[in-house]
Amino acid sequence: MNDLRIYIHIPFCKQRCSYCDFVTYDDKSYLMHSYFKALDTEIALNRQYIEKSNITSVFFGGGTPSYPDAKFIKAALNKFDLAEDAEVTIEANPGTVDFEKLSIYREAGINRISFGVQSFENDMLIIMGRIHDRSMAIRNIKDAKKAGFDNISIDLMHGYPLQTEEGFRNSLSSVVDLGVTHVSCYSLKVGEDTPLQSMLDKGLLPEIDDEKDRNMYKAAQGYLQANGYIQYEIANFARPGFQCRHNIGYWVLDEYLGFGAGAHSYYNGRRFSNITVLGEYIRSLNELKLPEDYSETIDMEESIKEFMILGLRMTDGISINVFSQKFNRGLYSVYGNEIKDCIDSGLLISNGEKIKLTQNGLDFANKVFRKFI
């Protein structure tokens, strides 16, 4: 049986954040029952692939998976027979959970929770359009521990307009004080046609300061590593043994199936995605039709490119032997010149067994990735 990872997209939110352009809706909660019924149907239509696979991880993403009633999440998870040591993650926004809901998640078999805190600074949370404040985030994280979660992740955002380096450092300090096992530090990406983009266009907020953003990123690297977190990917830090196995699967080109509106899949050499419009997604499955919206076949050349740019995201880098075994080609025979250029520029380093980004390469990763596209 081949290993398989499952992603389940929950597109409902209590309130849409000012920067967000994900497939999510804050005005469609009346479709919740219909959506989860359609989700069940989509899973059933893929039963032949699921049953012949060893499911090693499940990830409920969104949107806000913690916004619907916990019974919906529990029922969706029950559709899968999981590997004994499977990692099961749910994303949660502070302000949408309490001890009772968290306890239901844990009893259902969810063993990892990722809180979209973004900041522990109340003024920043207001500007970001978040529904919670600092005290609520702390309370929810402590409730998760009481409910039995010992694998807790926190998302932090840096580079937001009006954000200060001191404020971001205070958020890092709060993370460490809470004793969580995983931290994701993301640089802001402003979605098109979002309230934040509109405010920036109108000059109501200052332009994002790239230098300040880089300083915050370096602060995260230094502070988190000094406090026992390993940086295992460009934006991700974990206590030893608490790296997110589901996301690592993406970066090493493991196969995965995505369910739900807008969900993406990579399976049997094909990459495909679902309809994003909620009503169309539900209608398609009511007619017992797969809601596929886009598909492409990934040939050898494309697979090699993806392996490089995704694999180099991880600080452990890319194994020369693994590359040869996977593609039956030598890494340097394919990318010798590109690798040499990046090494000469101080962006990559090689020890003869692996190539990986240098510290400078982590700052300019996109420049490296372009070399391999």
> What is the model's pLDDT at position 271?
96
Kindly give, in sequence order, each residue whose CB lies less than 8 Å from that of residue 22, ignoring residues fewer than 6 positions away.
62, 63, 191, 262
373 contacts 310 by C-beta, under 8 angstroms: no
> What is the model's pLDDT at position 31?
95
Strands 230-233 and 236-238 come out as antiparallel
Mean pLDDT by 10 residues, the chain (373 residues): 95 87 88 97 97 96 96 97 96 97 98 97 91 96 98 96 94 97 93 85 87 94 97 97 97 96 96 97 98 96 95 96 95 96 96 94 93 89
53 contacts 4 by C-beta, under 8 angstroms: yes
**CATH number for the domain formed by residue range(s) 2-251:** 3.20.20.70
> What is the model's pLDDT at position 331?
96
Return the H-helix or E-strand segment holding 44. helix 32-45
| Integer Rg of the chain from CA | 21
Strands 182-187 and 152-158 come out as parallel
Query: Hey, CA dihedral for 211, 316, 62, 180, is it positive or negative?
Result: negative
C-alpha to C-alpha distance for 101 and 272, rounded to whole angstroms: 33
Scan for tokens 């499977």, then name that residue: 86
DSSP secondary-structure letter at 100? H
> What is the model's pLDDT at position 312?
97
CA-wise closest residue to 101 among 86, 90, 117: 90
3-state DSSP helix/strand/coil percent for the chain, to nearest 5?
45, 25, 35
Residue ranges of domains in the chain? 2-251, 317-371
> What is the model's pLDDT at position 47?
96
In the beta sheet, which residues pair with residue 7? 59, 258
CA distances from 109 to 23, 76, 143, 145, 366 (A): 26, 12, 17, 15, 37
